[in-house]
Every structure is written in C-alpha cells, then in structure tokens.
Structure 1
Amino acid sequence: MLSIDDRVDPSQVTPSGRPRARALGIPLDGRPGPHNAITDVPGVQVGYTTLIEGAGPLVTGQGPVRTGVTAILPRGRDGVGRACAAGWFSLNGNGEMTGTAWIEETGALAMPVVITNTHAVGPAHRGVVDWVVAHHPQAARQWLLPVVGETWDGYLNDINGSHVRPEHAVAALDSAASGPVDEGSVGGGTGMNCYDFKGGSGTASRVVDYGSRSYTVAAFVQANFGSRRELVVAGVPVGRALLDDNPMEANASWPAPSGAGSVIVVIATDAPLLPGQCKALARRVPIGLGRTGTSGSHFSGDLFLAFSTANDAALSSTFPRGAATDEDYESLTFVPWGRIDPFFEATVQSVEEAVLNALVANETMTGRDDHRSPALPHTRLRDLLATGRQELTAP
C-alpha cells in the first residue's frame, strides 16, 4: 500500500493507500486544505481504535466483530478543558449524542468527542472520563460531560456482544494525531454502511478567504445512512444504475427498512464564530448530505456538532469566588452574520465530499452471519459520471 509522503497528494489518497473521491476524478467545488481533512483546522486531532475479529454465524458475545471507536480532540490532547464555541443540530432524532444539553445551555465544548456504535455509548463515555481523569486531573475536578455519538453497525457486527470497552475509547484518544486521516472501515465507522454500500469514516476540508486571512472549515462524518436508489455523486443520480449486488435489500430476513441507519457529522473551524453561528453551521450539514441524495429517513439518527477553535479559553467556565469585579468580563471576536455565507458554503461542500470519501476509500466487508456489504464500484462509477446526467435521468 502507498504511504503519505512528498510524492503522494493526501487530498487524493488515504494514509493506508486507499483512493479518495478526488482520485476518481469526481468534480467537487471549493478549495481543500493541505490534507483535505478535519485536521486541517489547527489543533484538531483524530484517533481510531478498529476492532475486526471472527467470521461466520453470529454468537452474541463472541462475534463476528466489526466495530470500533473514533476520537476527535478539538484542541488536541493538551487542550482538554479549554472550551470552544459550539452548537449542535438534530435533523432526525433516532440516535444519540451525549453532552448536547450542556452545549445548548452554554454554547461551549471543552471535552473530547467520541463516535462509536449504538450499544457502545456507555463504555465509550466511561473511557473518555477515565482518560480525562488520567491526563487532565485538574479538568476532572468538576463534572465531565463528553460528547459521544453513535450509529448502528448491527448488520455486520455483533452489536449486542459488548466488544467495545472503555479501554478502546482510551486507546483512540491516545492515538489521536494531526495530519492525514485514514478513512473507510476504521474506528467507529468500521461496521457501517452508506447507501447500501460499505460506508464508515470520511473527512474533508475547505479554505475560506476572509480579507487578508484564510480560515478552514472541515467535516468528519460517520456515514451509515441512505438507500441505494438515492445515491447522487456530483449531481448525477448514479444509485438508480447501481441497484444490482445489494445484499441488504435482497436479504428478506433482514428487518431494517431501506434507508435506515444514521449519520454523525462533526464540523470544525478556526474561524471566530459565536455559539449561535456554530449552530447555524450544524444546520447546514443536511444540505451537504442532501447533495449525496438522502431524503433523511425516519429510521436514521442524523445528529450534527459544530465548533470553533478561535477565542481560545474565552468560553471556559470557572467556579466564581468572591464578588464580581470590574474585570470579570470576557470578549469574543466573531465574523459578522452578514459575512457568514462563505462558511455555510464551505460546510456544505466539505460534508458532501466527506461522505463520498467514506464510500470511495473502502473495500467490501463480510461480517456476522456472512452478511456482505459491497464496496462502491469505482470503474462503474467513473463510467456513469462520464455518461452524464441526461442519459441517467431519461424516462
């Protein structure tokens, strides 16, 4: 496999050598950052724990195992406890994202963000607490409300088998790093499906010029949503031409309706934004998802978080002592609302590409009970895109 070095463009190839959407020549709007990843936002780090074990019939508690944990550190491992402006949005609430009540109350995020499978939220949450206690005991002197999001990987994984444990969340946090980010069947995305193809983890970024400065807006997705017929790539409805080889749809014993699943999206930026503006970015995530074709199934949990790493520590809460003084104020610099549209556009573009990267940077996976999730066929996709919209949309 290829490795990322001076000869390889990380916007087109993952660290493990898998092609990304741009490597297939998919036309995409906007200018990506150097790694085309959420880690293009200075300070943001991403880590994974990937659990793959066993094959054949499901034996609850034994496997097969196809799951994991993804960790995102907004200010890196040394910045835990220093709050970022943050906001969140639920397109459809058939899912879970912990810590959001406190984000709604304060407009701030000071803890790590972890993504895993639906039935592993508890152990992952415990793992984050254990990690913070060990590495940031000062922050652990008050209550800890980390963000843990989930999507359901039960088609491929022994989801009821308690295979994700607190130490796996700890390991993901310990491995978090800046630079290129692997995609596909890694971390919490290991056992996920997207548009009835193999889905999982994906990321992308966009650069926004603002006066003499440049800022980055970036997305990380755990993609586990959509039905095959909905899939759209670069405006071309390719899904309707790829309806064959769909084991999930063909499995008469499988209870989940087409389109069921979930998607967790994390938006990061170094642009100075208010909490309400972060929430506004999170509300634009569905537009990026919609560009890939989804109509947002009732059976899909679609939960989105956005944060800004600017205004370092201005939002961090401290326990007050004594009476307030004339110096007890904080100041926030922020992009005026009238200038925010380019950041909305960058959000939409990065979400769309992150989903496509999760699909493209993947391979076919077989899991529990020999359930198979096929990879998006690259050659057929290129041919369909070359054919163009007119032929595919003809009656």
Structure 2
Amino acid sequence: MSERLRNWGVSIGTQPTGRLNAITDVPGVRVGHAEVVFGEGRCAPGQGPARTGVTAIWPADGHLFDSKVAAAVHVINGFGKTTGLMQLAELGSIETPILITNTLNVGRCFDALVDYLAFYAKWDFVSINPIVMECNDSFLNDILGRHVHAEHVRKALDQATTENAAEGNVGAGTGMSCYHFKGGMGTASRKLEIAGSTFHLGSLVCANMGRMEDLRIDGVPVGRELAKHPDDAPEQGSIIMLLATDAPLDSRQLARLAKRATHGLARTGTYSGSGSGDVVVAWSASHRIPRQSEAPYVEGPRWLDTHLEPLFRAAADTTEEAILNALWAAEPMTGRDGNSRPAIPKPRVRGIMRRAGYAFREGEDA
C-alpha cells in the first residue's frame, strides 16, 4: 500500500474516517484501474511514449440502468470535455459506471463503455448516458496516441473492487501532475453519526492542477518554500472530484453537496485557472430511481436539509485530503521527451510544517 498523508501525522478535519479512508467505504461503490505505460525518449505522436490509463467507478450495486442513482454535477470551471453532464444535470441521475481518462481518450472510452454494457454485461438499451471524465496528461504522455483501448476499459471495470482504492500513479492518474509534482488518483472518507444512524461520505479525485508556489497542506503554505523560481504562469490542468454517500439525498441536495468540494480544492492552494477543467459529480448510492415503475413517484426517506451540515463538512475535508493523498502516493515519473515530475519531497515538507509550528498528530495510520 502506498504512503498516505496520515502516515506522516497530518490529519484533515476532525470527523472520523471510514475503515479504509476511501470512497469505497460507501457501500456498493467499486473502483478499478488500468494503466498504459511504454516507451522512452522523444515523442513520436501515435507511437509513444505512453504514460496514461483509465479509472472505472461503479457508483452502486446492481443494474444501474434499471435502478439509477440520484446524482448532481457542479462545474467550477468548464474547460473540460466530460460526456454525460447535460443529461445528468437535467434528470439528476447516473445510469452507467463513471470512467476517468485523458482528454483525447474520451471518445474511445465512451465507445468501449457502450460496448461493454451492451455486449458483455448484456444491458438492454437503445439510448444511454455514459459519463466519461478527463484530465490532460500531455506533459508526460503521447496524448495524440489515445493509447487507452477497449481492453483497458474492460480491465478497469472488471477489476473494480470495494476494497481500498489505489492511489497515485494508477489508472487515469498515471500521467497526471499536481502542483508541479507527480499527481494522480487520491481518495478519502468520513464516517458520520447523524440522528442515531451511521453514514459514510467518500471522495475520489484525479488531481492534475496547481502551481507549486500555491500549494498548502492543512493551511501551511509549503509551496512558497518548495518553489525555487516562482513565476506568473497561469494555473492550468484539471481536477475531477467525485463524492459518494449512502445518505439518501436527492439530486437538489447532492448539488448543494457538490459545491462544498470547492472549499476542499481551494484549501490546497489552487484557484481554478481559466484553462483548468474542474468538475464535481456527487451521488447517493442509496437513493435509487427505477427506470420503469407503475407508481408515478419514488418512495423512501426524505432527508432534511437541516441535517446536511456534517455532510457538507465531510465533502470539503475529504476532497482536500484526497488531493493531498494523491500527492503523497505518487511516485516520480519521466515521460515523453524526457519530461519529468518529481514526487513531493515529504521530509522537506515535514520540516517546513514543523518550522511553521504545525501540530503533527503522531501515531496516525490510515
């Protein structure tokens, strides 16, 4: 298992984590990854080197097309190419697994997901709304090669697990950069006791954004010391943020929840530059919407907005922690044309935080 932020005595917020401190603490959520890594040296467009991949997320148990999950989307900055957001926003539901990949591989992953659901899973449909999300990994990857193919999508879908979601240089995060360090996939969760019942909220991010000098870790502006030559270059890149919960929220409430991820993102230092595609998708794994029903309404518990506060806090805290976990887990990588991204220098960061008077929580291990 890769290193995580809490292994170094840094804990975000005060709410307890789930068992895995991962989005897969939410019952029914599964995550799988597939990587495509080959070649060295000068980029020959279409031939490599490749540093890319795909991540698949099953939002809930069961047949998603016949029993959809309530969902919402919040676009912080719309410089992105994700498919499926228009119908998601209109109907407030998700009916397929979610894929994350590189920007120019969205089309091939869309095709592969439709084929998988129609011909392998044997779902019956003539129209469906695949959600394929993206970040741009072209600094390390031959992105024009679109090296993620159907077999990689199928591997990620088939190998998706409810156990701890891998972090760092995995799946869609393989070639991603974050605050000019190696970035990638990250996750976190919170276990919440609300009105006598236990619920979970989990976050999964594909972190590919930020300038080094802006990086903050639990409020400490470590990037100012880490950046050797701060500059005025614009903040570019993207981040995909997913929020899952087993609290039975409706799509309106999930839209409110999704907005809170913005706070977690901002706490790490970024400000969503003009060229950054920053998108949040939130869903409830327990609020199901049948495709067909004799009744004209859906029965079930109605969540009161007055009980949303713990979920709002968890959305911000898990997003922040998931981004930092992505940085902590990522390993250094050299890609196309010799471009490289180092791992975040953890001992140096710890020293900066100690000098700033940060109170480390010794003995953390999550």
Query: What is the aligned partner in structure 1 of residue 194 from structure 2?
Result: 210
Pairing 1:233-382 to 2, within 5 Å after superposition:
233-244=217-228, 257-312=233-288, 315-318=289-292, 327-382=295-350
> 1 CA distance for matches of 2:283 and 2:191?
16
How far did residue 362 of structure 1 move?
Answer: 1.3
- Cα shift readout 1:34-91 (whole Å, capped 9, x = no counterpart): 0110100001000001111111000111111000000000114655542111000100
Give the secondary structure class of the aligned counterpart of 2:238: strand
Identical aligned residues as a percent: 40
Kindly indicate whether structure 1 or structure 2 has the higher relative contact order, using CA contacts under 8 Å at least 6 residues apart.
2
Per the alignment, do residues 50 and 133 of structure 1 end up closer, same or farther by CA in structure 2, a change over 3 Å counting?
same
> 1 CA distance for matches of 2:58 and 2:329?
23
Residue type of the partner of 2:150?
Answer: P
- Cα shift readout 1:80-123 (whole Å, capped 9, x = no counterpart): 54211100010000012211111111111121100000000001
Q: Indicate conservation of the 8 Å contact 1:80/1:112, yes or no.
A: no
Residue type of the partner of 2:325?
Answer: N
> 1 CA distance for matches of 2:349 and 2:11?
13
Per the alignment, do residues 111 and 212 of structure 1 end up closer, same or farther by CA in structure 2, a change over 3 Å counting?
same
Q: Is 1:98 aligned to 2:83, yes or no?
A: yes
Give the secondary structure class of the aligned counterpart of 2:277: strand
How far did residue 332 of structure 1 move?
Answer: 3.7
Give the secondary structure class of the aligned counterpart of 2:193: strand
> 1 CA distance for matches of 2:142 and 2:55?
18
How far did residue 127 of structure 1 move?
Answer: 1.1
Equivalent position to 2:95, from 110, 131, 137: 110
- Cα shift readout 1:330-374 (whole Å, capped 9, x = no counterpart): 224232011111100000010000000000001110000000101
> 1 CA distance for matches of 2:187 and 2:118?
29
Equivalent position to 1:148, from 110, 115, 132: 132
Q: Is 1:226 aligned to 2:188, yes or no?
A: no
Residue type of the partner of 2:140?
Answer: L
How far did residue 328 of structure 1 move?
Answer: 3.6
Per the alignment, do residues 52 and 221 of structure 1 end up closer, same or farther by CA in structure 2, a change over 3 Å counting?
same
Q: Indicate conservation of the 8 Å contact 2:95/2:128, yes or no.
A: no
Pairing 1:31-42 to 2, within 5 Å after superposition:
31-42=16-27
Q: Is 1:189 aligned to 2:178, yes or no?
A: no
> 1 CA distance for matches of 2:336 and 2:291?
46
More off after superposition, 329-338 vs 275-284: 329-338
How far did residue 171 of structure 1 move?
Answer: 1.5
Normalising to structure 2: TM-score of the pair? Answer: 0.94
> 2 CA distance for matches of 1:291 and 1:378?
19
Q: Is 1:388 aligned to 2:356, yes or no?
A: yes
More off after superposition, 271-280 vs 126-135: 126-135
Structure 2 alignment gaps of length 5 or more: 359-366
> 1 CA distance for matches of 2:208 and 2:25?
24
Structure 1 alignment gaps of length 5 or more: 1-16, 251-255, 391-395
Query: What is the aligned partner in structure 2 of residue 57 from structure 1?
Result: 42
Query: What is the aligned partner in structure 2 of residue 166 from structure 1?
Result: 150
Specify the structure having the higher radius of gyration (Cα): 1
> 1 CA distance for matches of 2:64 and 2:93?
14
How far did residue 386 of structure 1 move?
Answer: 0.8
> 1 CA distance for matches of 2:301 and 2:83?
28
Q: Is 1:46 aligned to 2:31, yes or no?
A: yes
> 1 CA distance for matches of 2:135 and 2:61?
24
CA RMSD in angstroms, aligned pairs only: 1.8
Normalising to structure 1: TM-score of the pair? Answer: 0.87
How far did residue 317 of structure 1 move?
Answer: 2.3
Q: Indicate conservation of the 8 Å contact 2:57/2:99, yes or no.
A: yes
> 2 CA distance for matches of 1:65 and 1:171?
18
Residue type of the partner of 1:296?
Answer: S
Residue type of the partner of 1:292?
Answer: T
How far did residue 310 of structure 1 move?
Answer: 1.4
Residue type of the partner of 1:140?
Answer: D
